[in-house]
Amino acid sequence: MGANAEGKDNGSPKPAPVGRVIGVRGPVVDVRFEKVEDIPALYDVLIGQAFDKRKIVLQVAEHLSSNDVRCISLSDTLNVQLYSKVVNTRKPVSIRTGDELFGRIINVFGDPVDDMEPFKSTEFQVIRKPPRPEVFNVQSKFSIKPERMATGIKFIDMLYPLCKGSKMGILGGAGCGKSVVILELINNIVKKYDGVCIFTGIGERIREGYDLFCELKDNNLLSKVKLVFGQMNEPPGARYECVNTGITLAEDLAEHNKDVLLFMDNIFRFIQGGQEIATLLGRVPGESGYQPTLASEVNSVEERIRSIPGRGSITSFQAVYVPADDMTDPSVVAIFSCLDGALALSRDLAQKGFYPAIDALRSSCSNLDARIVGQRHYDLSQKLLSLFAKHASLRRIVQVVGVEELPKEDQIDYKRAEKLLNFMTQPFTVGEAFTGKKGEFVAVEDSVEDVEAVISGVYDKLSAADFYLIGRAPRRKP
C-alpha cells in the first residue's frame, strides 16, 4: 500500500521515527535519535517496549542535545533494556472521549483499567491544551448570572453556597474527612441534578478507588460518572498528568451542553507529582522546597476549569491535603488563590465527632453574597458566623470558670452557638455504616428556617445534644 507498481510513493504517511534508549534512572529515560529531524517536540509521546513485552509510554520533558531527549515515563520502567527501540508518535498524550466511558475506570492514557471490555470509540482529544478563549473574555465571565446549586449539606448551603461554574476547595490534613465530604457531594448532587460527573483520583490508593467504585455502583450512580485514576503505585508522571486527563473529559462534556461536576481527590498529589518530576530532572527547588514552577503549573490547570458560555458548565470540587495542618504551606496557598471558596476541615472537630468537621472561622466563600443567596439568608449567615466567633473567644473562659459565671447575655449566645455547632453536623448517606443513622438531604429553605429558629431562641429549652447528627431541627410542639 505504501508504493505503486513502479516503486513510486502514493502519498502514504512516513514511517514513525525510531530512537534508542541510552539511559534509565527510575522514571527518567534518555532517548537518542540518529537524525535531527526525528527529534520529538516537548510533551510528545514515545512508545517503547520492556523485556517482558509491556508497553512503555514516555513523555518528552527536555531536549538534551540535537539528538538526545530526556523523558518522564508515564508507566513502570522495570525491565526496560539499554538500546531498545522507542517510536516517536509525533503527538502528545491523547485520550478517548464519548459516552462509553460512563461507568468505566481509565488511566492517564485513557485505557480501561477495570478488566472490562475494551473501548470502541474513535474520538480522541489531546489532554494538554491552553485555556479556551472564553476564559479571557471578561465581559462573558461577568454577564452570566450565578445559578445556585443545593448540596443538601447544611453547613455548605448556609455558609459556603455552591454556584454552577464555581470552584470549591476542601482543605484538611489526613483523616479529617475530605474524601467523605466529596463522596457525599457526589451522592447528593448527581442524584438531584440532571448532570454528569468526572471523578479524578490523583494519587489514589487502590483500596480507596475500589471502595469508591463499589459505593457508586451500590447507589446506581455509575451511569453518570467517568472515573480517572492515577494511583499511588504509578510513576509521578502519571499522577501529574492525571489532572489533565480529567479536565479534558470535563471539557468535552461541557462542549456537548452538559453540566459537569468535576471532583479531584487529591489535587495536592498533582503538585507532589510535579515536585518529584522537577527533582528527577535536576531542577533547583524554590525557597519553599517545592518546584520553581509551582504557581504556573497550578494556574495552567485551574484556568482550564471554566464553564463555556451558552453551553455547559464545569463545577469543580477539589480536595486539598494540607501538609502538617499548615494552612500557610506554599502548595495550599497556590491552590487557594484560584478557588471561589475553601472549606477548611479541623482535626479538633473531627476528633470530637463533628462531621463534616468544617472550621467556619477559617473557611470562606465568595458566593456568600446577598445578590446570590438573598438578603434574609445573608443576614442569618453573618449572625451565625458572629455566634461561632463569640463561642470560640469564650470557650477557654468557660473551661476555667464555667458557663454560669458569664454575663447573662453571653450565656445565651454561648449556649445557642453550641446548639448551632451541633446542628451543623449531619448524618451522611455514605457514612451510614459508621454512624448507624440514615443519611439526610436537607433543603436550603429548611436549613435557613431552622437556623433562624435557633438564633431567635425558639429552642432555648433544649440541650445542645438534641441537635447532634440530625437533619432538620427537633420539631416544636404545638
Residues annotated as catalytic are 178, 204-205
Measure the CA angle with vertex 344, ends 352 and 372; round to 5°. 120
Helices (H), 202-235: 206-218
Q: Which residues are 217's β-sheet partners? A: none
**Three-state SS for 221?**
coil
Do 366 and 357 contact (CB within 8 A), yes or no? no
> Which cell goes with 70?
530526556
C-alpha to C-alpha distance for 18 and 14, rounded to whole angstroms: 12
Do 72 and 237 contact (CB within 8 A), yes or no? yes
**Three-state SS for 263?**
strand
- Please tell me whether the peptide bond between 146 and the residue prior to it is cis, using omega within 30 degrees of 0: no
DSSP characters for 18-77?
Answer: EEEEEEEETTEEEEE-SSGGGPPPTT-EEEEE-TTS-EEEEEEEEE-SSSEEEEEESS--
- Scored b (16 or more CB within 10 A) or e, 255-270 reads eeebbbbbbbbbbbbb
C-alpha to C-alpha distance for 386 and 367, rounded to whole angstroms: 18
C-alpha to C-alpha distance for 299 and 405, rounded to whole angstroms: 52
C-alpha to C-alpha distance for 252 and 101, rounded to whole angstroms: 12
C-alpha to C-alpha distance for 172 and 343, rounded to whole angstroms: 8
Do 17 and 33 contact (CB within 8 A), yes or no? yes
Q: Furthest-apart CA pair in the chain: how many Å?
A: 104
> Which cell goes with 463?
440541650
Do 159 and 341 contact (CB within 8 A), yes or no? no
341-344/167-172 β-pairing: parallel
